[in-house]
Structure 1
Amino acid sequence: MPNNLTDITNYLLELDALKLVNRRTYIDGGLRVENSAEHSWHLAMACWTISRSFKLEVCEEKLLKLALIHDLGEIDAGDTFLYDVNRDSAHNAEREGVQRLQAHQGNAVIELSELWEEQETGTSPETKLLKVVDRLLPFLHNINSEGRTWRESNVKKSQVANAHAFISDNFPEIHAWMFHQLNLAVQAGWLINE
């Protein structure tokens, strides 16, 4: 039995704060924005589904862990929009947040920071899949909401194409599907054709 259940429950409340971090991604066809905890769950389920659908040789336990901890740093740092000019430095504040959670007295996941670093900088098959699906889901929500986030933020086709170009290296089928959807979004006026 753990020595201090109060420390553990305090830590669980710290983790629960991920529900308070709103993203710019509209869900349910544009009714509301999702929070980062919802995204983490969706990411885990989508990674699991795609790994099975594509019959990938990945460690599912590791994949799911990476997905679940992927956005924990946002508890302190908040969510950074994919097309934000400060996107390249967002990981610094997120890393500090994960280190704070790692050091919490109620945390029993000793590899928390190590797993977060792997999903952030790693090149394992699990990490590659995670990064693809992490881009696929907001893209899918944008298509489903008639580009609501793109329209609100004046996002250009070139920005979306550049942010998703890496997907063609490991998942050309997914990239081809996304590129087709991207062209349809431009035709529908959801994206600026630049």
Structure 2
Amino acid sequence: MIPMNSLTDFILELDALKLVNRRTYIAGGERLENSAEHSWHLAMACWLFATHLKRDVSMEKLIKLALIHDLGEIDPGDTFLYDTARSSAPARERECVTRLAGHKGNAIRDLSALWDEQELGQSGEAALLKVVDRLLPFLHNLTSRGQAWKDHGISKSQVLEAHAFIENAEPDIYAWFLENLETAVSNGWLKNT
């Protein structure tokens, strides 16, 4: 049995995800969202999409994957989707998850395995999570009139490249994405290059 003080210490370790700011603005663009808010929103959106698309997935596993997918950002912070250091982010995040999994107050024995599953995207749950995880910042950019894209000088070609995998995974979502991408370009929220 894990002592209560160890459990509460671990809960406070997880609370640090609230301190990790992303470069995505919340709907309407009033402020940047933090990774804890994103994880909750992702879990809700995954639940919604899995139900709507009638995907044969374990809802419990899908929501667990969504809730833990950004835990690795607690130590290194969030790596912006279009950052040149993006390829090294998984290794830094895995170190953090390993640290959290070994915490004396962690009672979630499959924490590392679940994080690896969502990172590798092999299961149906992880594949859907990856699509929805990419969709949410795009949606927030639409509602904030491209504020994060404008802040960082992001172009249409960068957004297309980052979202290309959705075409095979979820063609209907990809069609919606392309339509709204053109709207973003025509409104001047993205550079047309």
Alignment of 1:139-150 (within 5 A): 139-150=138-149
> What secondary structure is seen at the aligned counterpart in 2 of 1:80?
coil
Aligned residue number for residue 159 of structure 1: 158
> What secondary structure is seen at the aligned counterpart in 2 of 1:82?
coil
CA distance in 1, matches of 2:80, 2:179: 23
> What secondary structure is seen at the aligned counterpart in 2 of 1:25?
strand
Deviations 1:52-101 (A, max 9, x none): 00111111011011000000000011000000000011011100000000
* % identical equivalent positions: 61
Unaligned runs of 5+ in 2: none
CA contact (8 A) 2:25 2:148 kept: yes
CA distance in 2, matches of 1:185, 1:174: 16
Aligned residue number for residue 58 of structure 1: 57
Aligned residue number for residue 120 of structure 2: 121
> What secondary structure is seen at the aligned counterpart in 2 of 1:34?
strand
Aligned residue number for residue 90 of structure 2: 91
Alignment of 1:75-86 (within 5 A): 75-86=74-85
Aligned length, in residue pairs = 193
Alpha-carbon shift at residue 133 of structure 1 (Å): 0.3
- Give 2:130's aligned amino acid: K
Alpha-carbon shift at residue 170 of structure 1 (Å): 1.6
CA distance in 2, matches of 1:3, 1:142: 43
> What secondary structure is seen at the aligned counterpart in 2 of 1:189?
coil
- Give 2:182's aligned amino acid: N
CA contact (8 A) 2:156 2:192 kept: yes
Unaligned runs of 5+ in 1: none
- Give 2:169's aligned amino acid: N
- Give 2:146's aligned amino acid: G
